[in-house]
Amino acid sequence: MASPTSGGEREKLVSKLPASLRQALKVRAAQLSTDVQDAVTDGIHAWRAHPEALPQIDTAGAESFGTWLPEGLYDDFKQDCVARGVSYIQGLAQSVALWLEQNPADDETAPTRRIIVCNQKGGVGKTAVTAGLAQALAEASDGLPATTDKATKLATTAAGLGLRVLMVDYDPQGHLSHQLGLKAIPAGAESLITHMLNREQARTPLIDLTVVIDETRFGDRLRILPAAFDAFLLDSGLTMFRGPRHAALERALAPIEEHFDVIVIDSPPSLGLAMDAAIFYGRRRDGEKPSSSGLVIPVEAEDTSAQAYGMLINQVDSLARDYEIDVDQLGLVVNKYDSRRGYIATSSLDKWKSLGSPPVLAVIGDLKEQREAVRVQRALLAYAPESDQAHHMREIARRLS
């Protein structure tokens, strides 16, 4: 059977793998820009060539796992398992563990990635990009229904990173929360705003305020921190804040970073103090690789969007100078593009592409599936996983990985 992702002949491996190893495999493969199928192949080759017996791995509770191997390798691997007196599940677990040992991440202590989706111009699709990108980062092939055929499953989960992702609804309007069927946290109740401005008075850990997005394809990897009803008071609250205002968001989110691989923030359409805190949170930290964290900026192919982009970049540059920080622009997403709008649309798209840096991560048409997903209050990649918009979100996730 030909592999959908390479030119060589491959066949399907179906076995089981402990959840911890499966997660570590996907994260490490993403860190090293390697396909999971190639990582498993290399691990099996290393296992077969290893001169000594490897330690037994606890495989209790191992769950279904599938990938693609070069033709003939699966049969050779099973024969070696029999010869070594181990089960196929144990052999696979040892192979993956050996690959992880032999392929360490460049920086095991790299901080949680922070992606700030921002543009003070309203209506450009910040919320849609935040949600779609977060879903694509959290999506994994083993979360798809068993009825999905092999070719569709592999095509659908081309990003397939299976990361632990937190979406933060940082916009007082609460569109992200509403679109996913959640209500804003009531005024006076503990929320992100409480932890930013009055953390000493907070009694509920912030992680307990997050909500799992209950869709099979995301497992329990995708969560949201809902909007707060009183978030519109944040700018005025920050003016009276006695601590470093620019670090207020980081101060609140730092205690929960260990629970997530990526935090994606849906920013308010504002150039105020709250936005300063978001930009500062997305800065490049000491020891962090360039473009690991930073800004994703949705824009439209028209003139006012270009003007708004210029204002945002002025704010970023000013903040970078004031605090001597580096803020990476990860890329632009040209949203709701329609070439039928004529010269203004096509010439504006050409100008966005001509910037070169930041790059255009995707050009997304003005399509109906996102609006339908909002209407039924479901995640786009669960509601319409094969739509063009869903595939564009996976494209963005791949380019940022």
5 domain-assigned:
no
Is residue 312 predicted with pLDDT exceeding 70?
yes
Quick one: 65 and 158 in the same domain?
A: no
Residues 218 and 275 in one domain: yes
**Which is more confidently placed, 401 or 399?**
399
Give the residue numbers spanning the domain of 77.
10-102
Q: Which among 282, 238, 235, 321 is positioned nearest to 112, based on CA atoms?
A: 282
User: What is the distance between the alpha carbons of residues 143 and 153, in angstroms, rounded to a whole number?
Assistant: 10
* Residue 37 covered by a domain: yes
How many other CB atoms are there within 10 angstroms of residue 334's CB atom?
A: 23
Q: Is the pLDDT of residue 152 over 60?
A: no
Which residues, in sequence order, are CB contacts of 100 under 8 Å at separation 6+?
21, 24, 25, 28
Is 126 part of a structural domain of the chain? yes
Question: pLDDT band at residue 108, thresholds of 50, 70 and 90?
Answer: low
What are the start-end ranges of the E strands in 173-250? 211-212, 222-225
Per-residue pLDDT, averaged over 23-46, amounts to 87
Whether the full predicted model's pTM is greater than 0.75, yes or no, is no
pLDDT at 353: 86
For the cut 60, the answer to whether the pLDDT of residue 3 exceeds it is no
> Could you give the CA distance from residue 174 to residue 195 in angstroms, rounded to a whole number?
18
3-state helix, strand, coil in the chain (%, to 5): 50, 15, 35
Whether residues 189 and 302 share a domain: the answer is: yes
**Domain check: are 219 and 347 in the same one?**
yes
Q: How confident is the model at residue 213 (pLDDT cuts 50, 70, 90)?
A: very high
Give 222's pLDDT tier (boundaries 50, 70, 90).
Answer: very high
Angle at 131 between CA 278 and CA 255, to 5 degrees: 45
Q: 35 and 120: one domain?
A: no
Residue 126 has what pLDDT? 93
> Given this model, what pLDDT does residue 109 score?
58
**What span, in angstroms and rounded, lies between the C-alpha atoms of 83 and 75?**
12
Between 339 and 185, whose confidence is greater? Answer: 185
More confident residue, 329 or 289: 329
Q: Looking at the structure, tell me whether residues 253 and 283 fall in a common domain.
A: yes
β pairing state of 294-299 and 113-117 = parallel
User: Residue 147's pLDDT is what?
Assistant: 37
Residues 152 and 292 both lie in one domain: yes
88 and 135 part of one domain: no
Residue 228 forms beta bridges with which residues? 185
The answer to whether residue 107 sits within a structural domain is no
Query: What per-residue confidence (pLDDT) applies to 338?
Result: 75
pLDDT greater than 90 at residue 164:
yes
Considering its fold, how many domains does the chain have in total? 2
Instruction: Name the E strands within 109-171.
Output: 113-117, 165-169
Tell me if 27 is assigned to some domain.
Answer: yes
In-domain check, residue 214: yes
Task: Return the CATH number at 235.
Answer: 3.40.50.300
**What is d(CA 306, CA 348) in angstroms, rounded to the nearest whole number?**
8
- The CA–CA distances, whole Å, from 144 to 19, 140, 173 equal 15, 7, 32
C-beta separation of 196 from 248 below 8 A: yes
Residue 81 resides in a domain: yes
Residue that terminates a domain, selected from 60, 83, 102: 102
Task: Count CA atoms closer than 13 A to 148's CA, side-chain side.
Answer: 18
**Could you tell me if 150 and 45 lie in one domain?**
no
The verdict on 392 and 252 lying in the same domain is yes
| Host H or E run for residue 205 | none
pLDDT exceeds 70 at position 296? yes
Confidence of residue 107 (pLDDT cuts 50, 70, 90): low
Residues 330, 17: Cα–Cα separation, whole Å: 34
Q: Where is the domain boundary, 77, 102, 127?
A: 102
List the one residue out of 135, 119, 178 whose CA is nearest residue 264.
135
Strand partners, 70: 10
Domain C-terminal end among 39, 72, 102: 102
pLDDT in tens, 114-151: 999 999 888 888 999 999 999 999 998 554 433 344 33
Q: Is the pLDDT of residue 1 over 80?
A: no
- 242-282 pLDDT per residue, tens: 778 888 999 999 999 999 999 999 998 888 899 999 999 99
Q: Is 60 exceeded by the pLDDT of residue 176?
A: yes
Q: Are residues 16 and 157 in the same domain?
A: no
Query: What's the pLDDT tens digit per position in 45-63?
Result: 999 999 888 989 988 878 8
Buried residues in 288-319 as b, exposed as e (16+ CB within 10 A): beeebbbbbbbbbbbeebeebbeebeebbeeb
Average pLDDT over residues 229-240: 83
Residue 381 belongs to a domain:
yes
Please report the pLDDT score of residue 149 as a whole number: 41
Task: Identify whether residues 134 and 72 lie together within a single domain.
Answer: no
Asked if the model's pLDDT at residue 391 lies above 80, the reply is yes
Bridge partners for 332 per DSSP = 297, 360
Residues comprising the chain, all counted: 401
Counting beta carbons within 10 angstroms of the beta carbon of residue 336, is it exposed (0 to 12), middle (13 to 18) or buried (19 or more)? Answer: buried
